Amino acid sequence: MSGFKNIIGHKQVIEHLKSAIMLGKISHAYILNGEVGSGKKLIASTFAMTLQCETENDEPCGKCKSCMQSNNHNHPDIIWVTHEKPGSIGVDDIRGQLNNDIVIKPYSSKYKIYIIDEADKLTVQAQNALLKTLEEPPAYAVIILLTTNHEALLSTILSRCITLNLKVVEDELIRTFLMEEKQIPDYKANISVAFAQGNVGKAIKLASTQDFDQLREDTFSMLRNMADMEMYEVIEYIKKIAENKLNINDYLDLIILWFRDVLLFKATNDINHLIFKDNISDIKKQANERSYNGIENIINAIEKAKVRLNANVNFELVMELLLLTIKEN
């Protein structure tokens, strides 16, 4: 059953929303700001479900007609605003799905709730159209914007919304959830937690990947054999793995974790705190072959590569610079 109590972490955000429900002080507009996979959709849908629940408590009952409709994603008064263009949410999307619809009173509930995912993709025209509704919303309206970068929104939008920032979730909470609720073995849970860096969605995604072990072995095989591979071979190899298994940022994060293990073992000679303990012979070999400075240069180069790729710099160029750094260090 869905409910706030089943959400991992985000205690402050959840307490804020539950308090607003119990005090009857629901804002007309919220921004949930956090990285992809941080839990924005889950929190928004749980908040909406709770607001519409017939029991009017701070947790949804999961049994009333409203909760059943929410769980089945067919509640008439919970509207997820969609958009056809992948890169932006246009003014027609907002006018058609929100502005023109919000004047109609709720069909069966106390509130009419609109959830806009990827709200940082709203065009300026779309934001201005939304602003008109935010300035004079109907009493029953609740608008929830989900963003990975709330700074992309106009200051006039931000000033009319309550912004709730989703912070990283404690590693131990994620590890316990993966092992107890998802039945993930401890070694895979440990790697997933380290990889996710406080992002529950990311941890679940990696832990649930059926070919996880193959992905890891492919990655480490490439790192072991890189010295004997031509540059174009490595780039094609990375592109193939990144396209098939994870997005490129996730893949690069996996490589960073590998080199952090190399650095940690070089510094401590201790296997106990390594993430990839079962690859100790390769980690030991790399630690002996590389200098402290060299390993740190590689980790920094991977971080720079992620920034460049996010800025849409040419993939081959970015990867070539990165691989040269790894080879040279």
**What's residue 276's pLDDT?**
84
Listed in sequence order, the residues at least 6 apart from 273 whose beta carbon sits closer than 8 Å to its beta carbon are: 264
CA atoms within 13 A on the CB side of 287: 20
Q: Contact at 8 Å (CB) between 149 and 120?
A: yes
Return the SS3 of 29: strand
pLDDT at 251: 77
pTM of the model: 0.78
10-residue mean pLDDT series, the chain (329 residues): 84 94 93 91 94 92 92 93 85 92 92 94 93 93 94 93 92 89 83 83 80 72 76 75 66 85 90 84 88 91 88 82 82
pLDDT at 40: 93
pLDDT computed for residue 211 by the predictor: 64
Element (H, E) at 236: helix 231-244
pLDDT, residue 241, reads 66
Sheet with 162-165, strands from edge to edge, namely 78-81, 112-116, 141-147, 29-33, 162-165
